[in-house]
Amino acid sequence: GFFEAQVAYNVEKKEKTASVNYVAKLVTPPYKLRNISYRSTDSLYPGLSEAIKEESFLKTGDVHTLDNLNKELELVEKILRNKGYYFFDSSYLIFKADSTVGERQVDLFLGMEEKIPPQARKAYRLDSVEVINHYTLSKDTTLTSEYDTTLVRDYRYLYRKNDFRPEIIINTINLRKDSLYNRVAQDYTLSRLTDLGTFKFVNIKFFPQRNSNLLKAKVYLTPSLKKSLRFEAKFASKSNNFVGPSVAVSFINRNFLKGAELFQFRVNSGYEVQVSGQTEGKPINSFELGIEASLTFPRFISPIRIAYSSHRYLPRTTVKIATRLQNRVNYFQINSFNLGYGYLWRESEQKNHTFYPIDITYFRRGNISDDFQQALDRDPFLQRSFENQFILGSNYGFTYNSQTGEQKERKQDNFYFNGNIDVSGNLASLVQKIVGKNENTDDPNELFGSPYSQYTRLDVNLRYYHDFNKNSQLATRLIAGTGFAYGNSTVMPYIKQFSSGGSNSLRAFRARSVGPGTYNALADTAVSSFFIDQTGDVKLESTVEYRFGIIGYLKGAVFADAGNIWLLRDDANRPGADFKWDSFLKEIGVGTGAGLRLDASFFVLRLDFAFPLRKPFLPEGDRWVIKNIDFGDKTWRKNNLILNVAIGYPF
């Protein structure tokens, strides 16, 4: 809007370097838009002016900006392309501005260039849609004799191998014979075909038919390698002083049943040892082995019809089965088996849903050492958490992320929300009531010789990001969750409980060592010698982090974390662990620190140094420990300074 602006510059030279200083002289206030006219476009493109007004970037009273003018030109091109004008281009448009109307205002007129090609004046329809599978640049695809051909509805499908069911591909295409050309339908078709995950290259070309307003559409598909084998090896160092290697082998089939089904089989194994820390007694060694198989269909598979209206995104149905063995040497062994059947779908570019109507887990305790058995005998809460049990549940999750897609580049402020609800045991309880079994928490009902869990668990994760510029950002996060057992259970399964502390949580405290409430596991001689993992029914946690660039890929951050976990029921073995509305805020743990991140976009190595400011397990008047901070004291550093080494940002 600053039409009379003048810019001057001067160059300052110092040996082999030079700096340029710019000085801009502005005449204020900037020009603003008074009237905006599109009527001259209607003679060639009827109804265009009204269509523009519905989505226009130009509003009366706004400052005149070149950026908004360019957006308006792109908008007009998009509108016309979606109305069949395949050859129309924004370069055929021209804005005229009248700045002589007074009071530093501008009247804008959108018009057309005088010489617009004839083809840009016509709305085109699709004469036919042809799908060419197994396309390769090394062969002439005009030689249709090399292809087998079949007709699926109004589509001509050409292929060299009978390894795809044609209807699966055709159902993914939004281009329709005899319909007006539509750029959105073209983009959505590209997106959906790519989203199938089985094609390496996808391309769509349109060929005008001579002396007509018809286009022939050709969809070119180049399949990816159908099968692949992947090997992964890594070495992890965690904030709870566990270090160790892990390996994983995955087999992937991207077209398992000729319908772009994704089959994955994965075996992973890892070993960790606690090299140092705040525990005494036997060192903790942990071994894990996991096997998982999953089959994902690019569509809904359900006994009832599911209405899904998106033309841009593909829904998915997933069936998975997994088993996992965790052996904490000299202490306990846990086996778990999981079977899941669920749906994943995208409502928009920012909104995602997951729903597992069937999610079954069998949790079985294996060998237990005498020391750990004594701990279970002393703590009924812990003992019930480790009982053999079935988890027969359903869960639903919703995610909103404003940072995805095109919006990320256009917004300074971004939000992320994830919410989940997990319900288990209600159907089994109802069935057992119907057949006459009594509900008794002292003697729980069983399935196949093991009790089943009955609980409801909810959690939310809310994040806010504010970009000051491309190199600095304020990132905040709030986590809240609760879970409560009822009916057939008095405590949630161990694997469903909340924990706090660690490299992605409260970084000034060791992993899973915070709480519950004011309880201090490290000071409890009954458990500190070998088992400091603490869990609870309620979690509240928040983080504020300022991120900034240092040089190149090296980034920095300063942060503060706060939070804790609590129990919903009193536990005599963990005094101060229960949640109380009138005191929970006094039991929040607080830590702060600074970190370095090697950020290469595809890989982020993070080192965070943190120390506590407030320890919830201390007496109420002594919980703030700021006055005790002494970086020069070796004992203070050993007991308070935590180094977190992790991959990726904490959030």
CATH code of the domain containing 148: 3.10.20.310
SS3 142: coil
**Which DSSP state fits 74?**
H
pLDDT digits (tens, 9 = 90+) for 432-481: 777 766 555 567 888 888 888 999 999 999 999 999 988 999 999 999 99
Q: Encoding tokens for residue 643?
A: 């180094």
- Non-local (6+) Cβ contacts of 543 within 8 A are 475, 476, 477, 559, 560, 561, 562, 650, 651
Q: Encoding tokens for residue 154?
A: 């109004």
Mean pLDDT for the chain overall: 87
Q: Which of 325, 346, 367 marks a domain boundary?
A: 346
Please report whether residue 200 resides in a domain: yes
Q: Encoding tokens for residue 619?
A: 């007496």
19 exposure class (CB count in 10 Å sphere: 0-12, 13-18, 19+): exposed
Using pLDDT thresholds of 50, 70 and 90, give the confidence band for residue 184. very high
Give the DSSP letter string of 382-435: HHHHTS-EEEEEEEEEEEEETTSTTHHHH-SEEEEEEEEEEEESHHHHHHHHHT
Cβ count near 55 (within 10 Å): 12
SS3 522: helix
Q: Say whether both 19 and 103 belong to one domain.
A: yes
* CA 508 – CA 514 distance, rounded (Å): 10
Please report whether residue 530 resides in a domain: no
Residues 548-560, mean pLDDT to the nearest whole number? 95
pLDDT for 388 beyond 90:
no
Q: Say whether both 325 and 301 belong to one domain.
A: yes
pLDDT digits (tens, 9 = 90+) for 410-419: 588 999 999 9
Least Cα distance to 451 among 424, 421, 483 occurs for 424
Hey, what amino acid is at 306? I
Q: What is the pLDDT of residue 422?
A: 96
Our count of domains for the chain comes to 3
Q: Say whether both 250 and 219 belong to one domain.
A: no
pLDDT for 141 beyond 70:
no
Pairing mode, strands 125-132 and 155-159: parallel
Please report whether residue 373 resides in a domain: no
Please report whether residue 176 resides in a domain: yes
Contact 633, 606 (CB under 8 A): no
Q: Encoding tokens for residue 31?
A: 């020009």
Q: Say whether both 212 and 254 belong to one domain.
A: no
What are residue 323's phi and psi, to 5 degrees?
Answer: -135, 145
Q: Encoding tokens for residue 141?
A: 């695809």
Angle between helices 48-55 and 66-81 (to 10 degrees): 130
pLDDT for 85 beyond 90:
yes
The pTM assigned to this predicted structure is 0.83
Q: Say whether both 149 and 82 belong to one domain.
A: no
Distances (CA, A) of 602 to 242, 314, 553: 25, 26, 11
Using pLDDT thresholds of 50, 70 and 90, give the confidence band for residue 279. very low
Contact 390, 449 (CB under 8 A): no
Cis peptide before 223 (omega within 30 of 0): no
Using pLDDT thresholds of 50, 70 and 90, give the confidence band for residue 597. very high
Q: Which of 118, 134, 168 marks a domain boundary?
A: 118
Percent above pLDDT 70 for the chain: 92
Q: What is the pLDDT of residue 585?
A: 93
Q: What is the pLDDT of residue 142?
A: 54
pLDDT for 329 beyond 50:
yes
Q: Which of 85, 118, 151 marks a domain boundary?
A: 118
Q: Say whether both 204 and 257 belong to one domain.
A: no
Residues 525-536, mean pLDDT to the nearest whole number? 65
Pairing mode, strands 455-469 and 450-451: unpaired
Q: What's the distance, Cα to Cα, between the start and end of the chain in Å?
A: 40
* CA 524 – CA 501 distance, rounded (Å): 18
* CA 630 – CA 58 distance, rounded (Å): 59
Contact 538, 482 (CB under 8 A): yes
Distances (CA, A) of 238 to 244, 490, 599: 9, 32, 19
Q: Say whether both 33 and 130 belong to one domain.
A: no
Please report whether residue 588 resides in a domain: no
Q: Say whether both 69 and 146 belong to one domain.
A: no
* CA 512 – CA 569 distance, rounded (Å): 19
Residues 37-50, mean pLDDT to the nearest whole number? 80
- Non-local (6+) Cβ contacts of 3 within 8 A are 27, 31, 99
Q: Three-class SS string for 293-313?
A: EEEEECCCCCCCCCCCCCCCC
**Residue-range definition of the domain harbouring residue 103:** 6-118
Question: Beta partners for 214?
Answer: 125
Using pLDDT thresholds of 50, 70 and 90, give the confidence band for residue 278. very low
**Which H/E stretch holds residue 192?**
helix 183-195
Least Cα distance to 86 among 221, 219, 209 occurs for 209
pLDDT for 277 beyond 50:
no
Q: Three-class SS string for 469-504?
A: ECCEEEEEEEEEEEEEECCCCCCCCHHHCECCCCCC
Q: Say whether both 142 and 102 belong to one domain.
A: no
- Non-local (6+) Cβ contacts of 108 within 8 A are 33, 35, 36, 37, 58, 64, 95, 96, 97, 98
Q: Say whether both 270 and 342 belong to one domain.
A: yes
Using pLDDT thresholds of 50, 70 and 90, give the confidence band for residue 76. very high
pLDDT digits (tens, 9 = 90+) for 304-325: 888 777 788 999 999 999 999 9
Please report whether residue 76 resides in a domain: yes
Contact 525, 583 (CB under 8 A): no
271 exposure class (CB count in 10 Å sphere: 0-12, 13-18, 19+): middle
